[in-house]
Chain A
């Protein structure tokens, strides 16, 4: 693990305090610095430097296979389990590199929650799905507290009113959109600080997609959100900042309106106008 110290990060320097979004300079919740990820010999992500800010939604767009999911999974070290993956560079969460040897991965994943591309609730009851993270992490001490935290998480995921009368029903009986919101509730239940969303609406119909996007606006008040999407309209609708990734390289990172109206890189322009990808 090489920890870059005084290395030059031109992109980061210009982006850390771009003023367009919030008025005053912010400290990033997560700072990705010089992240390179290899699958064996193939480089999936190359020297990516990117800050993620609290209360903002950052979107990563790019064609299939550009490394966006790999990048996302690096932020809670979900790539660790995949054989042959080598990660270089650092990911600073509140100033601490999560790739430092001995860093508590379990605690990291509690703090950095994740929602997957296809809804993947456990084949258990709705209640037990949301309770899972709370139970395994030993976060609650009584049944009443568990009940309360579950209601809170389901409300936060805008699912409570739909499921409050059938918490003991199997989660697989819910519709796809409900399942995905259940997965969001499950991730929120352990009170993470960051939410990683890997194409969370790609398997959903337009109505369910709209609900998820609406939900994201609510969630951004409390969380740092990173969403990976191949749907440019979605990125334009929901995100504050957009990063364009191409062949594992970060081509452009800008406030969303600017990236979609006046991209600075010709490749970004080519991509968003539909000339490839």
Chain B
């Protein structure tokens, strides 16, 4: 037998192995999505989306959780996008790649992205709630407990720190994709560096900024661990109206329904419904990001 035959066999075998691995991934996703959609679909009614939980969470809807989630990610976006864009501009337009400052800050961002989310939760509790919040109370509220407790604003800030690397990387990538010729043209007309950044580079990278924001939102909407200690509530009779209110949140609600319920069988359908809503929300956000990105990219290239 020539040595060619086992070699071909090995080649063929690897192909099948790779195909099997791909199939496995697809199947897993299929089972998860199928199971959730199949069991959760029936739950998605108008009442489920607009009512508050009742009877120890075994009946009613999840509106406060949807409301809280939206509020949380909106507030988070307000914090994280400007900060992330500034850092990305520094990295892409100002920093000298050789300088130690650049290397350190770059490494810091990379490390930030690798920190487990529960650690962010503890950081939020220690820094925002206990340190900043208590400080605010001492300074402005004569020590009365106002901001020195888990609250919407601290949750949003914690989430902003968590999603910061997502925004930075996405925006920076978009800034670097802006052709150097645009910058040259701008400088050659007598523009300063900041004029070039704000009138040429940033508008051209708008798709990246938007994508960064949406990716951060979709990441933030799916995280539970960071907000466990800093503002998410088990159940609230009222919707949050102030920055120092606590709030309900979809991811946390899933956790609550699945582990803290007095009657697991009764909450199971609700749980499926909640998970479906959470999945649909993040999926929709990701889809929007992709759509905006491709639309703006095509527009930038063809001028339409």
- A binding-site residues for B, Cβ under 8 Å: 76, 78, 81, 83, 106-107, 109-110, 113-114, 116, 118, 120-123, 132-133, 136-137, 169-173, 183, 186-187, 190
Contacts and interface: CB of A to CB of B under 8 A. Distances in A.
A120 B178 CA distance: 12
A116 B185 contact: yes
Given A118-B181, A120-B182, A113 B200 contact: no
Contacts of A109: 187-190
Contacts of B184: 78, 116, 120
Contacts, number: 71
Contacts of A121: 185
Nearest to B188: A114
A162 to B, nearest CB: 16
Given A110-B190, A123-B300, A171-B303, 14 more contacts: A78-B184, A78-B187, A106-B192, A107-B190, A114-B188, A120-B182, A122-B186, A132-B189, A132-B191, A136-B192, A136-B195, A136-B199, A169-B303, A170-B304
Q: Binding site of B, secondary structure by majority: helix, strand, loop or mixed?
A: helix
Closest CB pairs A-B (n = 7) = A172-B303, A170-B303, A133-B189, A120-B181, A110-B190, A114-B188, A109-B190
A37 to B, nearest CB: 17
Interface size class of B (residues with CB under 8 A): 20 to 34
B45 interface: no
22 contacts: A107-B190, A109-B187, A109-B188, A109-B190, A110-B189, A110-B190, A113-B188, A116-B181, A118-B181, A122-B186, A123-B204, A133-B189, A133-B190, A136-B191, A136-B192, A137-B189, A172-B303, A173-B302, A173-B304, A183-B185, A187-B188, A190-B190
Contact of A187 (B96, B179, B189, B192): B189
A136 B189 CA distance: 9
Nearest to A108: B190
A110 B187 CA distance: 9
Given A120-B181, A136-B199, A172 B190 contact: no
Among A81, A122, A137, A170, which residue has the most Cβ atoms of chain B within 10 A?
A122
A137 B190 contact: yes
Nearest to B193: A81
A187 B179 CA distance: 19
Contacts of A137: 189-190
